[in-house]
Amino acid sequence: MAVRACGLIIYRRLQSAPSSKVADGIEYLLLQTSYGTHHWTPPKGHVDPGEDDLQTAFRETQEEAGLQASQLTLVEGYKKELHYPVHGKPKTVIYWLAEMKDCNTEIKLSEEHQAFQWLKLEEACRFAEYEDMQATLKEAHQFLCSKV
């Protein structure tokens, strides 16, 4: 059976960016794992029994980044499903897009991660080594910019 994980692509809008340059004022939160190759990823994790996918995404975000659901605004209309093998087994990861209500909210990492960064799209894609994650970040960014 495929492993299933869910998470949130979290972004914040910087107040200093001129409104004509909305894309320049968006930063994405990436966490660096404290295990394996120390890769960078949005907060995500495995679905627990009895949980639905979105509950998992919010729970994992709280566990890994210390962010409560009340501190985030879920963006309607965006949901991305990625499929890739991990250790020879199929894995499905579902991401939603969420905006920080207060861009100065403190991030509190769990033991699973050793660092976090707020990154503009280009840097975020550099940090996220996997092509499908890079494509997902670009797609999310395009979605946000088209909504303005």
Q: CB–CB of 5/80 below 8 Å?
A: no
Domain count, the chain: 1
The domain that holds 53 is classified in CATH as 3.90.79.10
What is the model's pLDDT at position 14?
A: 83
Q: CB–CB of 134/123 below 8 Å?
A: no
Q: Residue 49: which domain range?
A: 3-147
**How do the pLDDT tens digits run along the chain, 148 residues long?**
678 999 999 999 987 655 556 567 899 999 999 887 789 999 999 999 999 999 999 999 999 999 999 999 999 999 999 998 888 999 999 999 999 999 899 999 999 999 999 999 999 999 998 999 999 999 999 999 987 5
